[in-house]
Amino acid sequence: MTVVRKLGIGVAAMVGLLVVAAGTLYALFDEAAIKRQLVEQVAAKTGRQLTIGGGLGLSIWPDVGVRVGQVALSEAGGHGEFLKLDSARIAVAILPLLTKRLEARRIEIDGLKINLVKHKDGALNIDDLRHEKPAPGAAPEASAGEPGKPLEIDIAGLELRNVSVSWHDEATAKTSEISDLDLSAGALSANTGSKLFSVEKLKLATQGSIGADHFVLALETPGVALTAGEAWGEMLTFSATLESSGKKITAKIALQDLAGTLEALAIRNLAFGLDGKIGEAEFKANLNSPVSVDGKNKIIRLDKLAGSLDASSPALPMKQVKLPMDGRLMADIGRQRADFALKTRLDESQMDLKLLVERFSPPALDFTIAIDQLNVDRYLPPKKTGPGASASAKGETGGAESKIDLSALKGLDFKGAIKIGRLQAHQLKLSGLDVQIEAAGGHLQVAPLRASLYGGSLDGAFAVNAAGNQFSLRQNLRGIDVSPLLKDLTDKDMLEGHGNVSLEVTTHGDTVSALKRRLEGKAALDLRDGAIKGLNVAKLLRSARTMLGGKQAVSGNTDTAEKTDFSGLTASFNIDDGVARNSDLLLKSPVIRLAGEGDIDIGSSRLDYLARVSVDDSLTGPGSELAQLKGITVPLRLRGPYSQIAYTLELDKLLVEVAKSQLKEKAKEALGKELQKLFGK
């Protein structure tokens, strides 16, 4: 007998055995019994109802498997639908099948849909699946509250196609959905009791929508194994893309070379990348660090974080910004704490951030920010110029005024400190800024707020209450050079002088206009050696003196080229419903004395003030231009919007004062002559 003939006989015998085995399998395969067994086991273990609508079929190519269609699993108690699928094929072990037991080796599922629900009490609709339910009449294997048996998974291969998962939160009535999910994997093993997990050739891809944004997710690894005694893996990559009209953001995470054990896992490098474009703005970030995981104490460390952030936009004055990053991160999962530190540089600014997460949920933070110098104006878009600029700045565009929304404060719980050596923001220049911030329960408090500025110092506080949009502000400025402060702060040149300014106000409202109209509190100023810009009162009095023969009022608008010098200026204000009222203004100058009273309507940005001007006696000697006004108080009315304050000096009232003064002088002269006659002099 030749070798070929012997080989042919052997092959024929093998084929025959396979045919016999296949026939035996088909003969022993009891569809009804297996379906009944599956339904009964699911009901006994979970208390849920399993429905198999399609037929149960046996196939032997390319491996021995059971195919099923139209399967559904109910919610706990048998009501509602938790899970359904269009079709599934399960490759099974042959020997257990001969004893009418189904043992899965490879699973292929099409059209799987899962509905996950978080109930109002915080429980999930899958919580009951973590514990086996005893059969009716059987004694429970564990006492109440004792965890069920460990979850065991041992599958030679897994493939899921066209999977969708919905998540519904009953407390918020919000629903999210993931669709078109595809998952494939080689050998997959897991045991929650022995802390075993391993997978080969894992690929996951899905996509969906969040509002107008479309997302794509992908996860891939050639193989990962995590056991109590050993952990290994070459590469694990995850990517996510979020895209909509005018926006695309892509994030990637790669873990390289996993080694060690579950109690001491080391990852040679974690690489994070972010690349995005929103409108004309583009940004790119990357971070790298080795990772160590203390599985026993549930601590994760990234001790050598390094990377950079690049951003570019036509709206940025410098068009492009680059920040190198150097830091570290420690997360204690068991105690829900994390410690993060980061150093970076923005142009000439050195920045140091330290963040302590004291609780993960709800988040509680403690931070410190230290910056040696920072010019914020360098990174702000240029101010608009032209006819529409001022209207836009004031919100006078014809549309409704934007609302102030403080709802985000209600979920914040943090405290921190900010220290900046030198700061410029919106042209305001500070040094030695020291700020303490705290937020909790919808309240935000900034206290103390200290800095050096314009030759003096600032010491104050600021507070916000989200309930009712309430604001309070307290500021004390000492030794301030007022002129450059006002120029930088308001872009107006109205006042000169050195001294003190205090302000303590409260308000509430949901728009800026409402806040201005509801201001309550007090303010005061005490200045020396300065000037009020816009009006030269002494010059005005000289002009009025030459017109004393007339009866018309002298009026006009303020002019920044004019000013009234003073050696001292004091005033206090009571603020009520957005109107600051003053009755004790006192201005002293080498030429005049000025007192006054009136209102500053902050809500309407208008002034209505009556000043009483008198000439200093020392300047009304013989030959003085203002001698004729000696002893006379001149009324000066100031009215109008801040941008165009008008003044009025009513000459008819001034004439009355002059006539009274002249009569008084003549009476004194006549009385003097009579006294001389009486005493013979």
Domain-embedded: residue 499: no
Residue whose structure tokens are 């032209």: 386
Same domain, 280 and 173: no
Same domain, 630 and 540: yes
Residue 2 DSSP symbol: -
Query: Of the residues 301, 318, 347, which one is the last residue of a structural domain?
Result: 347
In 422-445, which positions are buried (b, 16+ CB within 10 angstroms) versus exposed (e)?
bbbeeeebbeebebbbbbeebbbb
> Is residue 348 within 8 Å of 373, Cβ to Cβ?
yes
Neighbouring CB atoms inside 10 A of 491's CB total 10
Q: Is the preceding omega at residue 362 within 30 degrees of 0, hence cis?
A: yes
Residue 464 DSSP symbol: E
Pick from 201, 228, 206: nearest CA to 216: 206
Same domain, 567 and 661: yes
Same domain, 167 and 258: no
Instruction: Convert the pLDDT of each residue in 181-213 to its tens digit.
Output: 898 988 888 777 777 888 889 999 988 777 678
Pick from 88, 59, 58, 57: nearest CA to 72: 88
Phi, psi of 99 (to 5 degrees): -100, 20
Same domain, 63 and 116: yes
Q: How far is CA 614 from the centre of its chain?
A: 56
Question: Count of alpha carbons within 13 Å of 568, Cβ hemisphere only?
Answer: 6
H or E element in which residue 655 lies: helix 651-678
> CA–CA separation, 589 vs 149, rounded Å?
92
Please give the radius of gyration of the chain, using alpha carbons only, rounded to the nearest integer.
42
- Polymer length in residues for the chain: 681
Q: How far is CA 377 from the centre of its chain?
A: 21
Domain-embedded: residue 289: yes
3-state secondary structure (DSSP) of residue 623: coil
Distances (CA, A) of 66 to 59, 89, 154, 402: 6, 6, 17, 63
Residue 255, C-beta contacts closer than 8 angstroms, at least 6 positions apart = 233, 235, 236, 237, 267, 269, 270, 291
Same domain, 155 and 262: no
**What is the domain extent for residue 311?**
217-347
Domain-embedded: residue 70: yes
Same domain, 517 and 656: yes
Predicted TM-score (pTM) of this structure: 0.71
> CA–CA separation, 343 vs 350, rounded Å?
8
SS (H, E, C) 479-522: EEEHHHHHHHHHCCCCEEEEEEEEEEEEEECCCHHHHHHCCEEE
pLDDT at 263: 84
Same domain, 123 and 247: no
Same domain, 176 and 227: no
Distances (CA, A) of 341 to 162, 325, 326, 481, 631: 43, 10, 8, 39, 71
**Would you state the structure tokens that stand for residue 409, as one six-digit string?**
């404060």
Pick from 217, 225, 264, 224: nearest CA to 242: 217
Q: What is the DSSP string of 156-190?
A: SEEEEEEEEEEEEETTTTEEEEEEEEEEEESSEEE
> CA–CA separation, 163 vs 108, rounded Å?
12
Residue whose structure tokens are 């007090």: 522
Query: Of the residues 347, 362, 387, which one is the last residue of a structural domain?
Result: 347
Residue 133, C-beta contacts closer than 8 angstroms, at least 6 positions apart = 44, 45, 46, 47
Q: How far is CA 46 from the centre of its chain?
A: 44
Pick from 220, 212, 150, 218: nearest CA to 185: 220
Question: Count of alpha carbons within 13 Å of 670, Cβ hemisphere only?
Answer: 6
> CA–CA separation, 263 vs 656, rounded Å?
99
| Angle value at C-alpha 333, between 329 and 337, nearest 5 degrees | 60
3-state secondary structure (DSSP) of residue 256: strand
> CA–CA separation, 468 vs 454, rounded Å?
35
3-state secondary structure (DSSP) of residue 364: strand
pLDDT at 378: 84
pLDDT at 142: 46
> Is residue 482 within 8 Å of 501, Cβ to Cβ?
yes
Query: Of the residues 178, 193, 208, which one is the last residue of a structural domain?
Result: 193
Strand-pairing partners, residue 531, are 496, 565
Domain-embedded: residue 169: yes
> CA–CA separation, 599 vs 588, rounded Å?
21
> Is residue 116 within 8 Å of 87, Cβ to Cβ?
no
pLDDT at 514: 92
> Is residue 284 within 8 Å of 275, Cβ to Cβ?
yes
Same domain, 88 and 188: yes
Residue 124 DSSP symbol: B
Domain-embedded: residue 619: yes
3-state secondary structure (DSSP) of residue 569: strand
pLDDT at 395: 47
3-state secondary structure (DSSP) of residue 61: coil
Same domain, 179 and 273: no
Same domain, 184 and 253: no
Residue 544, C-beta contacts closer than 8 angstroms, at least 6 positions apart = 554, 634, 649, 651, 654
Domain-embedded: residue 495: no
Q: What is the DSSP string of 12-26?
A: HHHHHHHHHHHHHHH
Domain-embedded: residue 462: no
Residue 83, C-beta contacts closer than 8 angstroms, at least 6 positions apart = 72, 73, 112, 113, 114, 115
> CA–CA separation, 61 vs 47, rounded Å?
35
Q: How many helices (H) and strands (E) does the chain have?
A: 8, 35
| Angle value at C-alpha 222, between 220 and 223, nearest 5 degrees | 105
Provide the domain count of the chain: 3
Residue whose structure tokens are 């409202």: 509
Domain-embedded: residue 646: yes
Q: How far is CA 266 from the centre of its chain?
A: 33
Q: Which of the residues in the chain have pLDDT under 70?
A: 1-31, 57-64, 92-104, 130-151, 211, 382-399, 541-560, 616-632, 650-681
Instruction: Convert the pLDDT of each residue in 283-320 to its tens digit.
Output: 999 999 999 999 889 999 999 999 999 999 887 778 88
